Amino acid sequence: MAEANPASPPVVTPVNSGTAWRRLGAALRRHPTAIAGGVTLLVMILVAVLAPWLGTVDPTDVSPIRRLKPPSAEYWFGTDMLGRDVYSRVIYGTRVSLTVGLAVAFVATLIGLAIGLVTGFVRWLDAIVMRVMDGLMSIPSVLLAIALIALTKASLTNVIAAIAIAEIPRVVRLVRSLVLQLREQPYVEAAVASGTRVPMILLRHILPNTVAPLLVQATYICASAMITEAILSFIGAGTPPNIPSWGNIMAESRSLIQIAGTILLFPGIFLSLTVLSVNLLGDGMRDALDPRLARRL
Amino acid sequence: MTFPRIASGRQLAAAVLGCCLLLPGAALAQSGKTLKFIPEADLRILDPIVTTAYITRNYGYMVFDVLLAVDEKFQIQPQMLEKYEVSADKITYTFTLRDGLKFHDGAPVRSADCIASIERWAKRDVFGQKLGDLTDSWTAVNAKTFRLKLKKPFPYVLDALAKPSSNVPFIMPERMAKTDASTPVTESIGSGPFKFVKAEWVPGNKVVFVKNADYVPRKEAPSWGAGGKVAKVDRVEWIYIPDSATAAAALNAGEVDWWQQMPPDLIPLLAKNKDVKIENTDPLGSIGLLRFNHLQPPFNNVKLREAVLAVVNQNDYAIAIAGDPKNGKPCASFFTCGTPLANSAGSTVLTGKRDFERAKALVKESGYKGEKVIILDATDQPIVHSQALVTADLLKKIGINAELAASDWGTVITRRASKEPVEKGGWSILHTWFVGPDIVSPALNSPLRGAGEKSWFGWPNDPKLEELRDKWFDAPTLADQKKAAEELQLQGWKTIPYIPTAQLIIPTAYRSNIPGIIKSPVTFLWNVEKK
Amino acid sequence: MLGYTLRRLAATIPVMGVVALFVFSLLYLSPGDPAAIIAGDIATEEDIAKIRARLGLDQPYFIRFGTWLWALAQGDLGTSIFTGLPVTTLIGQRLEPTLALTLCTLVVAVALAVPLGVIAAARAGGWIDRVVMAVSVVGFSVPVFVLAYGLVLLFAVQLEWLPVQGYTPLKEGFWPFLRHMILPSVALGLTYMALIARITRASMLDVLSQDYVRTAHAKGLAPGTVLVRHALKNAAVPIVTIIGIGIALLIGGVVVTETVFAIPGIGRLVVDAILRRDYPIIQGVTLLFSAVYVLVNLLVDLSYVFFDPRIRY
C-alpha cells in the first residue's frame, strides 16, 4: 500500500513547491499502486474526451421498441427501459463524473484556501467563520448538498456548487491549521516584525507552503465529490436525468435489479474504478508530499 | 484495560435490543382476518374534498359513503339513498336516505350532514361548482329526506353526485363538513364500511382500518362503487412500499396479500409463483397526456403544436410507460376510450402516418427560431418521467431546442402554475395522467377547456371549445351528447389544447387466497375475502 | 471535569444556532410550494393562496423563524404540513429502524476495524497489512449504494441467502430482524470500517515505535499483552476521535442505505420530505442529525480522559 512509514519523524520543515514536484515524481515511481491509479485515471479522462469515437451512439436516443435488451454484439451493455444504449450512456457518464469531481475539487479548494488564509490572520473574523464552518460540518454532507440543490433547479452547475459548499469547511480547517502553524515559524515572525504587509506575507511565505497538503486534500475531495454526485443523482436530487450520469443510470433502473441487473452493474463498476484510481493517486501524493498528513488524513 | 470502551460490542448489542424492545408493540398479532394491501401511493392527507390525490380518494371510499354511485354499466344507482324523485319540471330533486345509516361515532346520518357535505364539495370540485352555480337551495325536509331546488334544469345533477373519482362527494358529519373548504378536516369519522385507526397510522409506511360492524350494506351485488359494500375482513393494513422490487419480494413471500399497481416489467418475477395472480382489474385505466403552455411562445403558435401532433406516436409512449403492449395502448380520443363519449372523430391526425418531414416543415412555417423549450420532468413519477423523455427525443428530431427541467413531482406542481416565460421560471410542455373516470365527459375533462387563464395549467384560450362544452351540457339525450362530444373533439384537434399519449392499464397482483376483487376504475377493498 | 463538560456543552450552542439558522433559511428560500402540492391537480390559485395563509407560509422571514425557534425551545419540532402529525411523532415512529441500522453498523465496523488495524500495524508490511490497506482503500472508493447493489445481486438475487430488501421489526423475531439487517449494515459499514482501520493502523504504528513499547517488549511481556494493554490504549485517542467524526459519514450513508433497502427509517422520512417540500420534517431531522453528531463528538472529547492519563480537565 502507498503509505509512508509513519514511524519516521513528522516533517515540519516547510517545503518549497519545486522540491515537492520532484519528490512527487520519485514517490509515484516508488508506489506501483499510485501509478496504476494514475494510469486508470488517465484512461478515464481519455474515455471522457473521446466518448463520441468509442463506438457510442446518442446516449439519450429513446426507442421504446428495443427496450430492455440484454448485452449483445449490437448493444454491448444492453438497453434500458426506454431502449437507450447502456454502453453509450456509461461512456458518456464518465464526462459527468470527472467534470463534477475536478470542478468541485478546484472550486472548494480555491474558496476554502481564501477563507482559510484570511481567518488564519484576522483574529476577530476567525471566531465567526469557524462557528459557521463547525455548523456546516455538523450537517451530514449528503444531506447538506441535497438541501442546497432543493433550493435551486437541478443542473450540473448547481450540483457542483452544492457539493463544493459541503466540502469547503474541510479545506478551511486544513488551511487555517497550516496558517496558524506557519505563523509561529521564525521567518514568518521575522517578516511580521520587519513590518511586511499581511497580503505580502500570505503570498510570499504562507501560500507556497499550503500547496502540497492542499493538492492531496483536493485529490480526496475529487474522489468524495464523485461519490456524492452519484448519491445525489441516485436519490433523485442531483444531475438532471436527461444527462447520463452513473448515478442517474443506476437510479432509473434500480427497480429492475432482479430483471436487468447489468444496467446497474456497469455504471457501478465504472464509478468505483474511477474513484479508486483517484484515491490511489491521492495516497501516493500524500506519501510523497507530506508524510505527516498521512496519519491525519 | 481501558480500551474496550469501544470494543464493548456486547453493550452496544444490548442497547440495540433494549431500544427495540422498548418500542410500543402497537400492532399485536391479529387473530382476525387481516388484509395486507400495498397501495399506489403514500396516504398523507385525510380530506378527500381538499385534495384530488387518488390515494386520499381511496381512503375516502374506505371511511366515507356516497349518496349515489355509478355501476359497471355506467348506470347511476342509489348507495346511501333509499330513493330519489325528480319533479316533472326537472327543477326539484328529493332524496331519501336508507334506514340504519350510522357514522363511526354512533350518530345517525341525517339530512343536515348530507347537505353540508355536498355544499362543501361543491366549493372545491369542478363538476360540483357547476352544480353549485345552478343550485337555488338545499333544504332538509326531515331527518332522512332533503331537497335540492335548481335555478334551471340541469341534466347532470345525478352524474355530479355520483361522481366516482376526485373529488368524490363523500358524506361527512355536519360538524366536519362545516370546516372551511380549503382546510383539511381533522377527524376521520364517516359512515363507510371501514373505520380508520388513527393511532396506528405511520405516514410513509402504514395505514390501518378495521371493519365497521355497524355498517348496513345494500342487498345488491357490488358493481363498481354501487351495490353492497360488504367488508369481509376484520382489518385492512395499507403497507406503503415505494420500491417496486421490495414490493414484489413481499408479495412473493406472502408478507402482503395484494399489490394494487405493479410495474409490468416486474411481471416475470411473480409469474413463476403459482400463488400469485396478475390481472387487469381496471377497465378504463389511466390516460397520459402531453400538455402545451398556450400562454407563452413558442407553443402559443398552433403550427408548432401541429408539428408535435404530427410525430407523436402513441405506441411509443404506451410502451415507454407501460413496458408491455398488453398494459398500454393507443387511445386517440379526448375522452377515455371504453366509455360512451369516446369517439374517433378527426383522430387520424394522431393515428395516421407519423410524418417527420411535415413536422419539420410546420416548424419552419411557424417561424420558430430555436427558442428554448422547457419540458417539465418529475423523476419520481415514472409515468411523467417516461413521457418527458420520449417527448424530448421527438422534439430534438424535429429541430426544436428542448430542455428537460428535471425535478421531483412537488417542484413540477409548483412550477407548472407559473405563467411566466421560460427564462423567468415558466415552462413549455408538461406531462401528467388522469385516471379514466376523470376525463370521460366534457364536464370532467379539465384540460380540454379553453377558458384562457381560468383553464387548467397550460391555459388554452379557445372560446369555441367553451361554447361547444356548454352545448354538451344542454344536450338532452345520449345521442345528442355524443354528437356534441364529437364536435368538441374535432375542435380539439384543431387547436390542440393537449395531446393524449396513451391509455395505460396498470396490472394488479394478489395472492390467490383473496378472491372477490371488484373490477373497477377505482380500487375498492370491500367484498374481498381472505381464506 | 464538570466545569469542562459544561464549557463544552455551552460551546455547542452557537454551532447548533448556526445549524438552526442555516436550515431554516435554506428551506425558506426553497422554490417548491407545499400549498400547491396539498391543493392537488385541479386547484385554482385562490385555493393555493388560502392554504398558504393557513400554513403561515405567507408570513415574513423573521416572524416565521422566531415562531419556529420559540416552539423549538419548548421541544416542539412543528407539525408535518401534509399529515398534520407532530414531527416528533413521525421521527419517533421511524426511530427503531434507523437506530437498529446505525448501531448494527457501528458494532460491525468497530468490531472488525480495530482488530484489523491492530494486526495490520503489528505486521506492518506483511500480507495481512497489504490486504487490510487494500480493502480500506476500496472501502473508500465504492459508494454505499453501489456496494449495496453488488451485495444484493450476489447474496439475495443469485444465492438467495438473504432477503433483497425490507425491514422486520425486532419484535417479530430476532432472526428475521437480523436477516434484514445484515446486508444494509455491511454495505453501510464498509466505508466507516475502512476509515477506522486506517486510523487504527496509523495510530498504532506511531505508538509501537515509542520507547515504552520497546521497553515492554524488552521486559519479555507477551506480544499480545503489549499490543493491547500498552500500545492500543495509547493509540486510542485518534481512533475514538475518528469514530466520532465518522458519525457524520454514517448518518449521510443512512439516508442512502435506507433508500436502497427500503427501510422505513428517518433517512427515508427526510428524503420523502424533501421531495414533497415538507419543511418542518426536513428542519427537524437535519437538526436532530446535527445534534447527534455534536453530542457524539462531545462524548468523544470527554472520553479522552479515560485513554490518555496526560489529559486532565
**What is the pTM (predicted TM-score) of this model?**
0.81
Sort out which chain A residues have CB atoms less than 8 A from C205's CB and list them. 5-7
How far from C219 is each of B2, B293, C215, C226, C241, CA to CA, in Å?
22, 85, 6, 10, 31
Rg, Å, chain C Cα set: 24
| Mean pLDDT lowest among A236-240, B238-242, C29-33, C289-293 | C29-33
Strands B373-378 and B135-140: unpaired
CA distance B57 to chain C (A): 12
Higher-confidence position of B109 and C4: B109
Query: What is the H or E stretch that residue A77 is in?
Result: none
Which bin fits C269, alpha (ψ -120 to 50), beta or left (φ > 0)? alpha
- Judge whether A5 lies within some domain: no
In three-state secondary structure terms, B329 is strand
Q: What is the pLDDT of residue C32?
A: 63
Sort out which chain B residues have CB atoms less than 8 A from A258's CB and list them. 245, 248, 266, 269
CATH of domain C97-307: 1.10.3720.10
**A288 in Cβ contact with A211 (< 8 Å):** no
Neighbours of chain A (3+ CB pairs under 8 A): B, C
CA–CA dist A223, A278 (Å, integer): 6
Instruction: Please report, for chain B, how many H helices and E strands are present, in that order.
Output: 16, 21
**B30 in Cβ contact with B124 (< 8 Å):** no
Query: What is the H or E stretch that residue B374 is in?
Result: strand B373-378
Q: What is the pLDDT of residue C35?
A: 75
Query: Which one of C137, C143, C152 has the shortest CB-CB distance to A231?
Result: C143
- C157 and A CB contact within 8 Å: yes
Strand partners, B93: B86, B148
Instruction: Work out the average pLDDT over A116-120.
Output: 87
Query: How many residues would you count in chain C?
Result: 313
For chain B, the domains span 286-504
What is the band of A8 on the pLDDT scale with cuts at 50, 70, 90?
Answer: very low
Query: Which one of A62, A68, A236 has the shortest CB-CB distance to B389?
Result: A62
In three-state secondary structure terms, B342 is coil
- Judge whether A10 lies within some domain: no
How far from B239 is each of B38, B255, B503, CA to CA, in Å?
5, 10, 27
C261 CB neighbour count, 10 Å cutoff:
29
- How large is the angle between the packed helices C127-141 and C174-208, nearest 10 degrees? 120
Please give the CATH topology (third level) of the domain spanning B286-504: Dipeptide-binding Protein; domain 3 (3.10.105)
Sort out which chain C residues have CB atoms less than 8 A from B383's CB and list them. none
State chain A's mean pLDDT as an integer: 83
Q: What angle do CA B187, B188, B191 make, to 5 degrees?
A: 130
* Omega of the bond leading into B167 within 30 degrees of 0 (cis): yes
Strand positions, DSSP E, A126-280: none
CA–CA dist B430, B406 (Å, integer): 11
Query: Which one of C138, C249, C256 has the shortest CB-CB distance to A276?
Result: C138
Quick one: DSSP state of residue A205? Answer: I
Query: Which one of B15, B253, B417 has the shortest CB-CB distance to C103?
Result: B15
CA distance A279 to chain C (A): 7
* Omega of the bond leading into B298 within 30 degrees of 0 (cis): yes
How far from B40 is each of A206, A277, B170, B261, B263, CA to CA, in Å?
60, 43, 21, 6, 11
Query: How many residues would you count in chain A?
Result: 297
Please say if the pLDDT value at position A11 is more than 50: no
C-alpha cell at A152: 435551486
ipTM of this complex: 0.83
**B266 in Cβ contact with A259 (< 8 Å):** yes
Amino acid occupying residue B492: G
Q: What is the pLDDT of residue C41?
A: 57
- Judge whether A177 lies within some domain: yes
What is the band of A24 on the pLDDT scale with cuts at 50, 70, 90?
Answer: low
For chain C, the domains span 17-73, 97-307
Please say if the pLDDT value at position A166 is more than 70: yes
Closest chain A residue by Cα to residue C20 = A135
SS3 of B84-144: the string is EEECCCCCEEEEEECCCCECCCCCECCHHHHHHHHHHHHHHCHHHHHHHHHEEEEEECCCC
Which of A8, A31, A133, A138 would you mutate first to test chain C, the one with the most C CBs within 10 A?
A: A138
Query: Which one of C149, C206, C252 has the shortest CB-CB distance to A295?
Result: C206
Closest chain A residue by Cα to residue C14 = A131
Instruction: Work out the average pLDDT over A80-92.
Output: 91
Q: What is the pLDDT of residue B26?
A: 37
What is the band of C82 on the pLDDT scale with cuts at 50, 70, 90?
Answer: confident
Q: What is the pLDDT of residue A204?
A: 82
Q: What is the pLDDT of residue B172?
A: 97
Please count the residue pairs, one from chain A and one from chain B, whose beta carbons lie less than 8 angstroms apart: 77
Q: In what order do the strands lie in the sheet with B194-196?
A: B194-196, B206-211, B235-239, B34-38, B258-259, B508-511, B276-279
Helices (H), B419-474: 463-474
CA–CA dist B433, B386 (Å, integer): 12
Q: What is the CATH number of the domain that holds A80?
A: 1.10.3720.10
In three-state secondary structure terms, C39 is helix
Higher-confidence position of C163 and B176: B176
C-alpha cell at C9: 456543552
Q: What is the pLDDT of residue B13?
A: 42
Classify burial at B529, counting beta carbons within 10 Å of its beta carbon; exposed 0-12, middle 13-18, buried 19 or more: middle
CA–CA dist C56, B450 (Å, integer): 34
- B46 and C CB contact within 8 Å: yes
Q: What is the pLDDT of residue A16?
A: 53
Classify burial at A23, counting beta carbons within 10 Å of its beta carbon; exposed 0-12, middle 13-18, buried 19 or more: middle
Which of B143, B413, B435 is CA-nearest to residue B282? Answer: B435
CA distance C164 to chain B (A): 7
Number of domains in chain A: 1
Quick one: DSSP state of residue A85? Answer: B
CA–CA dist A283, A215 (Å, integer): 11
DSSP letters spanning B241-295: ---HHHHHHHHHTTS-SEES---GGGHHHHHT-TTEEEE---SS-EEEEEEE-SS
Please say if the pLDDT value at position A292 is more than 70: no
**B309 in Cβ contact with B408 (< 8 Å):** no
Q: What is the pLDDT of residue A293?
A: 46
Q: What is the pLDDT of residues C165-174, one digit of tens each?
A: 778 888 888 8
pLDDT tens for chain B, 531 residues long, are 333 333 333 444 444 443 333 343 333 434 479 999 999 888 888 999 988 888 999 999 999 999 999 999 889 999 999 999 999 999 999 999 999 999 999 999 999 999 999 999 999 888 898 899 999 999 999 999 999 999 999 989 999 999 999 889 999 999 999 998 878 898 999 999 999 999 999 888 889 999 999 999 999 999 999 999 999 999 999 998 877 878 888 898 888 999 998 888 888 888 888 999 999 888 888 999 999 999 998 999 999 999 999 999 999 999 888 877 788 889 999 999 999 999 999 999 999 999 999 999 999 999 999 999 999 988 777 889 889 989 998 999 999 998 888 776 767 877 888 888 988 888 999 999 998 888 999 988 989 999 888 888 899 999 999 999 989 988 888 899 999 999 999 999 999 999 999 999 888 999 999 999 999 999 999 999 998
CA–CA dist B169, B166 (Å, integer): 9
Q: What angle do CA B142, B143, B146 make, to 5 degrees?
A: 60
C-alpha cell at B228: 353492497
What is the band of A145 on the pLDDT scale with cuts at 50, 70, 90?
Answer: confident
C-alpha cell at C191: 466505508
- Judge whether A39 lies within some domain: yes
A39: containing domain = 17-296
Strands B145-150 and B92-97: antiparallel
CA distance A219 to chain C (A): 12
Q: What is the pLDDT of residue B308?
A: 96
Residue numbers of B between 6 and 25 with CB closer than 8 Å to C: 6-7, 9, 12-13, 15-17, 19-21, 23, 25
SS3 of C186-215: the string is HHHHHHHHHHHHHHHHHHHHHHHCCHHHHH
Query: Which one of B269, B380, B389 has the shortest CB-CB distance to A258?
Result: B269
How many CA atoms within 13 Å lie on the side-chain side of C29?
A: 12
CA–CA dist A180, B237 (Å, integer): 61
What is the band of C244 on the pLDDT scale with cuts at 50, 70, 90?
Answer: confident
* Omega of the bond leading into B252 within 30 degrees of 0 (cis): no
How many CA atoms within 13 Å lie on the side-chain side of A177?
A: 9
Quick one: DSSP state of residue C74? Answer: T
Q: What is the pLDDT of residues A52-84, one digit of tens each?
A: 999 888 888 877 778 888 899 888 999 988 888
- Judge whether A8 lies within some domain: no
Q: What is the pLDDT of residue B131?
A: 93
Neighbours of chain B (3+ CB pairs under 8 A): A, C
Higher-confidence position of C222 and C90: C90
Please count the residue pairs, one from chain B and one from chain C, whose beta carbons lie less than 8 angstroms apart: 163
